[in-house]
Structure 1
Amino acid sequence: MHSDEIRSIVDRLAALVSEHYVFPDVGRGIADRLTKAAGEGQYDGLTDPERLSAQVTADLQVGNQDKHLRLKFHRGEVPDETDPVEEEHYWATRARLDAGGMARVERLPGNIGLLEIRPILYDPSHAGAALTAAMSLLSATDALVLDLRGCLGGSPDQVAFVCSHLFDGEPVHLNDLVTPATGVVRQFWTFHVAGPRFGGTKPIWVLTSASTFSGGEELTYDLQQLGRAKIVGERTGGGAHPRQGFKLHPHLEATVPLMRAINPVSGTNWEGTGITPDLEVPAADAYDVAYREAIDHVLALPAAPERLAILDEARAQFAG
């Protein structure tokens, strides 16, 4: 890249932040700062897109620490958000290659379900069938370990779809997304799902790490605030402002937060603070800790004849 192209990219980024950022006054201040830096030639020497991405992102986050606000470098070409056909193809292909985010689905010894979702919670239009299949396989387990340690974000609609498998009865209010620029509030509730569901009474352990972010955090936070799951692991990354992507260069994407989350229980969100686990342990130990607690739960269940083999299976996990 040459200096004129760099300045054009930064100026376009500044305009997007000024127009769309979730906190308008802050956005205008950031935009003024970027425009001034670009005009003074502070970025002219950053001809490598990855280096430019790193420096501009650091400058974007000065004073606000909003990890969703970035000039993001992509090794592959960035999809064009103004071309719905291209963007649909990009996300559909990614979801297909990632099995809809259902990275691991397993019935563990002791009839305990394990669902690992990574790298993201893809939209139901691309991953709803994969989630339905995973939850159908796990619906009859006696406890669930939901591993979000590698879940870096994703769709709030998919969060609601996951939660819809984990509650019973009347719809449950999960989260609101507010767009300050328009005043529009979008509510998210659980809804009826076809086929078997895990339900609202059996215990759930959610595993987190410092890398759990954005949509992965929303799923964690919704379940924690509603008292539906026990969170085990590390404090999460702290990104609660859903963002939109804008292509500025074949390998550079502006990601600009447009909305803020408001949880109906807490009245706030996890932006900048992350989510504090109910049981804080290193991420590498979270699975073992949660699985042991799940085994203890299974061993406390009534020893009906048809469950004897399951109880023996559970006891064998930590024998000796």
Structure 2
Amino acid sequence: MTTLTKLQPAPVIDETARLLTEHYVFPDTAEQLAALLHRRLTEGAYDVDDAEEFARLVTADLQSANGDRHLRLKHHADPVPPKQGAANLASIRRDFDTSLGGAPRVELLNGAVAVLELTPMLFPLEWAAEPLSAALTLASRAQALIIDLRANRGGDPDTVAFVCSYLLDERTHLNSMYWRAGNRTEQSWSLPHVPGTRFGGTKPLYVLSSANTFSAAEELAYDLQQLGRAVVVGERTRGGAHPCEGWTVHPHLEATVPVGRAINPVSGTNWEGTGVQPDVPCAAADALTQAHTLALAQLAG
């Protein structure tokens, strides 16, 4: 058990509230939540001995206003570095090194239908470009492709654009991101050229989703769905469309605060709170079989 030894909850709450008001993409909500945290602190709601329980209580309050699942106080069992973002980066690097770079499965099913599983996340592009290019090039010769995002918990928007570039024939506006810092909006486009071989923009494409599919993985599914490029098969996703940054506020605690929000050029909105709605709803466990059946039928037709 990790305890709050030598730490009172007040400094953590003060720093988390400061980060909220300075960085959260919705300033009005940030003010409300900062006041809520201080009120709950005064009431003794955070007077617990376990850091993990403390993080759970604070996270519940942070998400009480608008259900933003990227907004949280995250507990780390091992001490985390003080540098901004370092806690998350160290964690995902371990996952990268044990998952073949985020593409642990490429398989050819009956009927020349390929399955490409992207999990546990879409890693930073400077790490992931090589393994993803290899996996997507290998799958490019298939007659239909199923991308499995059922266990993908998010990642890098640049990696989303990289993957989409293999699944389209021409440069395409995929998404826009509004950033609170600088009050600016940036567009995300597929790449005009890719290393390796494209699967292309015409062959059948299916994306598998689950209730655990989150964040950048949701963007990948949503972008392709809104473009009419892919059929999403499975469950409604978790519903997190706000990119966040992390700050260490205690040796075992990291405050993650959304600093932007996605704006899809087709829908004009995003999947925050609602999740990505599948085109073919079914249990996640049945999604691969369902998509394979659909692909075979489409190829036969």
State the TM-score, normalizing by the size of structure 2. Answer: 0.93
Cα 1:298–1:83, aligned 2, differ >3 Å: closer, same or farther?
A: closer
Q: Is the 8 A contact 1:81 1:87 kept in 2?
A: no
Other-structure match for 1:235: 236
Partner of 2:183: 183
User: Aligned to 1:13, which of 10, 13, 16?
Assistant: 16
Deviation at 1:72, TM superposition (A): 1.1
Counterpart for residue 38 of structure 1: 41
**Aligned mates of 1:156, 1:289 — CA distance in 2:** 28
Name the larger-Rg structure.
1
In structure 1, what is the equivalent of residue 51 of structure 2?
A: 49
> Does the 8 Å contact 1:91/1:126 carry over to 2?
no
What is the Cα deviation at residue 295 of structure 1?
1.8
Q: Which amino acid aligns with 1:41?
A: G
Distance between the aligned counterparts of 1:201 and 1:270, measured in 2?
25
Partner of 1:81 in structure 2?
83
Matches within 5 A, 1:135-214: 135-169=136-170, 171-191=171-191, 192-214=193-215
- Structure 1 residue 296: deviation in Å? 2.0
Cα pair distance change 1:83/1:187, threshold 3 Å: closer
Query: Cα distance, 1:83 vs. partner?
Result: 8.0
Alignment gaps of 5+ in structure 1: 301-320
**Counterparts of 2:187 and 2:26, CA distance in 1:** 20
Give the structure 2 partner of residue 304 of structure 1: none
Q: Pairwise mapping of residues 1-320 of structure 1 onto structure 2 (< 5 A)?
A: 1-2=4-5, 4-44=7-47, 46-82=48-84, 91-169=92-170, 171-191=171-191, 192-300=193-301
Provide the secondary structure at the position in 1 that maps to 2:104.
Answer: strand
- How many aligned positions are there? 297
Could you say what secondary structure the match of 1:177 adopts? Answer: strand
Distance 1:140 1:92 in 2: 30
CA separation in 1, counterparts of 2:247 and 2:261?
19
**Residue pair 1:79, 1:90 contacting (<8 A) in 2 also:** no
1:71/1:266 Cα in 2 relative to 1: closer, same or farther (>3 Å)? same
Q: Is the 8 A contact 1:262 1:269 kept in 2?
A: yes
Change (3 A) 1:40 1:155: same
| Distance in 2 of aligned mates of 1:176 and 1:56 | 31
Give the share of equivalent positions with the same residue, in percent: 49
